[in-house]
Amino acid sequence: MFDAFIGGLLLVLQWKPLLYMLIGSAIGFWVGILPGIGGSATLALMIPFIYKMTPQEAFPFLLGMHSVVSTTGDITSVLFGIPGEATTVATVVDGYPMAKKGEAGRALGAVLMSSLVGALIGAGFMAFSIPVVRPLVLALGSPEMFMVVLLGLTCIATLSGQGKRGFLLGLLSGGFGFLCSLVGQDRQAGIIRFAFGQLYLWNELPLIPVVVGLFALPEIIDLYVRGTAIAGHVSYGNLSKGVKDGIKDTFRHFWLTIRCSLIGSFIGILPGLGGAVAQWVSYAHAVQSAKTPEERAGFGKGDVRGVLGPGAANNSKEGAGLIPTVAFGIPGNSGMAILLGAFFLLGLIPGPDMLTKHLTLTYSMVWTIALANIVVVAVCFLFINRIAKLTTIRGNLLIPFILFLCFIGAYTSNNHIGDLIVLVLFGGIGYFMVRFHWPRPPFILGFILGRLAENYLYVSVSRYGASWLYRPKVIIIFLIAVAFVLYHFFQNKALKKEEADEA
């Protein structure tokens, strides 16, 4: 096994695979930065280029591209408040306020370093868990997956605002997201729900236009209202100084970064959940790490921990997400499904062979993820000061370009004019949510997990009747979910008591 591990590294370091990995990483770098052009879509576009490649060349190319998309996707989230990827939305919540405070450099330093740590942990997770993860993944049926989704939904408690009113608004926001996820054809009975006679809505509301509208348009409007640069009137010098602070922040909150990386890795190996969920669960965990009500109030206003958590989880889920694809041929998300196609194109069959006959190739994938991220983060650090200076450009010069990127990004989701309508509609909803202090993160969590919850519940009921409720693993995950919610309330109570004692 150790030989295969080292063999994997030597394989990636050969000049041709290395060159392909660098080309892939360069493509992934730009794909991540541009909003709307997703890693999965680009992976699909790159498939025709691998026909003449060997597996040793094709996987460094494809994974080099796919594994860095989340890393650079965080850059636009921080600088302009536009999520570069659907998996980098949570970074907006605290990253963009940091940029507004003139801490773009610090936010970028933190998010890039935590992304690197996350990617390395994810790659390590993949390397060491391949032999043991099989029973875990195969043990989780629909009932357990429903409970895992329920566990994800409990994060709404943490992502809501402060106090009982804040919690109520969080629940309402999550409920509304849940309701929006039900738009389209019901997969059980085939009945069309809330489509208003539009064929476009049959296949549910697309994630990218919803996310870009909800998160980017309110920020653009606010930038216009302020009439300044994103970083206000902060000088260039202050921006560049923060990069080192951001890197230090990663190590100052190292255990948080590690924990969020592990959360990302765990969610990564579960089919169907993916980075969109991992980022919010880790963000919720970062919020929970606040020790005082004042600290907690700082989240959403530019707390660096709100950047570190999602940054780490986004990247760690990449390596972990490969495990079910490579080892069992079960793709965890759309990107992995496309990668599965690449396996067959190259004459490889995912499964036991990848863990025995082709183990060196499997480990070369681990090394590709690690090396590609190291290279891209190093390149980003080289140019980070210049990138951060973008936040000092006058808002009026940036707005037409940001707006143009939002519209293009949304449109590329389905290449349909309906994407633009969804973008504008959710832009309006997002603006009013922000204006009246309705938290948007619970909405996204409800939106992503809503349909999954419905599907898993129906499969569970159809397959097991009511007996699925008594399965030991279901009960255990349910208890964890209950403990998660109770922990949030007890923590709040303890914080309030502490505050009262101090007063």
Partner 1 sequence: MRLSGKLLMSLCFMVIGVVVMITAMEWPFRTALFPLIVSIFLFLGALADFLLNLFGSKKVVSKQGAVDFQLSEDIDPALATRRTIVAFSWIIGFFLLILVFGFVIAVPVMVFIFLKVQAKERWGISLLLTGSAMVFFLGLFVWLLNIPFPEGWVFEGLKMLGLG
Q: Check binding of 393 to partner 1 (CB under 8 A).
A: no
Q: Is the dihedral of CA 158, 161, 166, 168 positive or negative?
A: negative
What's the closest the beta carbon of residue 214 comes to partner 1, in angstroms?
A: 11
From the number of C-beta atoms within 10 Å of its C-beta (0-12, 13-18, 19+), residue 294 rates as: exposed
Q: Which is nearer to partner 1, 247 or 433 (CB)?
A: 433
What's the closest the beta carbon of residue 400 comes to partner 1, in angstroms?
A: 4
Contact call for residues 33 and 406 (beta carbons, < 8 A): no
CA distance 213 to 192: 24
Q: Check binding of 407 to partner 1 (CB under 8 A).
A: yes
In the numeric block, which tokens belong to residue 337? Answer: 């499904």
In the numeric block, which tokens belong to residue 396? Answer: 């009026």
Among 11, 37, 145, 326, binds partner 1 (CB under 8 A): 37
CA distance 440 to 417: 25
Q: 294: which residues sit within 8 A by CB, 6+ positions away?
A: none
Q: Check binding of 28 to partner 1 (CB under 8 A).
A: no
From the number of C-beta atoms within 10 Å of its C-beta (0-12, 13-18, 19+), residue 131 rates as: exposed
In the numeric block, which tokens belong to residue 498? Answer: 């502490």
Contact call for residues 87 and 226 (beta carbons, < 8 A): no
Q: With CB under 8 A as the contact rule, which of the stretches 310-318, 319-327, 451-459, 481-489 interacts with partner 1?
A: 451-459
| Three-class SS of 197-260 | CCHHHHHCCCHHHHHHHHHHHHHHHHHHHHCCECCECCCHHHHHHHHHHHHHHHHHCHHHHHHH
Amino acid residing at 227: G
Among 254, 404, 470, 489, binds partner 1 (CB under 8 A): 404
Q: With CB under 8 A as the contact rule, which of the stretches 117-125, 251-259, 269-277, 424-432 interacts with partner 1?
A: 424-432
Among 128, 401, 489, 490, binds partner 1 (CB under 8 A): 401
Q: Check binding of 417 to partner 1 (CB under 8 A).
A: yes
What's the closest the beta carbon of residue 392 comes to partner 1, in angstroms?
A: 16
Q: Is the dihedral of CA 360, 364, 370, 374 positive or negative?
A: positive
- Exposure class string for 138-147: b at 16+ Cβ within 10 A, else e: eebbbbbbbb
Block residue for tokens 């890393």: 71
Strand partners, 229: 232
Q: With CB under 8 A as the contact rule, which of the stretches 140-148, 253-261, 375-383, 430-438 interacts with partner 1?
A: 430-438
Q: Check binding of 389 to partner 1 (CB under 8 A).
A: no
CA distance 310 to 112: 11
Site string for partner 1, 287-316 (x = CB under 8 A): x--------xx-xxx---------------
What's the closest the beta carbon of residue 439 comes to partner 1, in angstroms?
A: 4
Contact call for residues 234 and 106 (beta carbons, < 8 A): no
Q: Check binding of 414 to partner 1 (CB under 8 A).
A: no
3-class DSSP assignment, residue 185: strand
Q: With CB under 8 A as the contact rule, which of the stretches 122-130, 145-153, 432-440, 479-487 interacts with partner 1?
A: 432-440
Among 35, 73, 81, 324, binds partner 1 (CB under 8 A): 81
Among 428, 469, 473, 491, binds partner 1 (CB under 8 A): 428
Among 14, 54, 356, 396, binds partner 1 (CB under 8 A): 396
Interface with partner 1 in residues 164-203 (CB under 8 A): 165-166, 168-172, 175-176, 178-179, 182, 186, 188-189, 191, 193-194
Interface with partner 1 in residues 369-388 (CB under 8 A): none
Block residue for tokens 């940001």: 402
What's the closest the beta carbon of residue 98 comes to partner 1, in angstroms?
A: 11
Contact call for residues 118 and 257 (beta carbons, < 8 A): yes
Q: With CB under 8 A as the contact rule, which of the stretches 69-77, 129-137, 223-231, 336-344 interacts with partner 1?
A: 223-231
Q: With CB under 8 A as the contact rule, which of the stretches 2-10, 63-71, 239-247, 397-405 interacts with partner 1?
A: 397-405
Strand partners, 184: 193
Contact call for residues 79 and 392 (beta carbons, < 8 A): no
Among 434, 445, 448, 477, binds partner 1 (CB under 8 A): 434
Interface with partner 1 in residues 457-496 (CB under 8 A): 457-458
Q: Which among 102, 112, 74, 93 has a CA at the least distance from the CA of 250?
A: 112
Among 128, 224, 470, 490, binds partner 1 (CB under 8 A): 224
Among 400, 472, 501, 502, binds partner 1 (CB under 8 A): 400
Site string for partner 1, 253-292 (x = CB under 8 A): ----------------------------------x-----
What's the closest the beta carbon of residue 124 comes to partner 1, in angstroms?
A: 31
Q: With CB under 8 A as the contact rule, which of the stretches 1-9, 70-78, 378-386, 392-400 interacts with partner 1?
A: 392-400
Q: Check binding of 219 to partner 1 (CB under 8 A).
A: yes
Contact call for residues 79 and 102 (beta carbons, < 8 A): no
CA distance 24 to 12: 13
Residue 244's CB: how many other CB atoms inside 10 A?
A: 12
Q: Check binding of 102 to partner 1 (CB under 8 A).
A: no
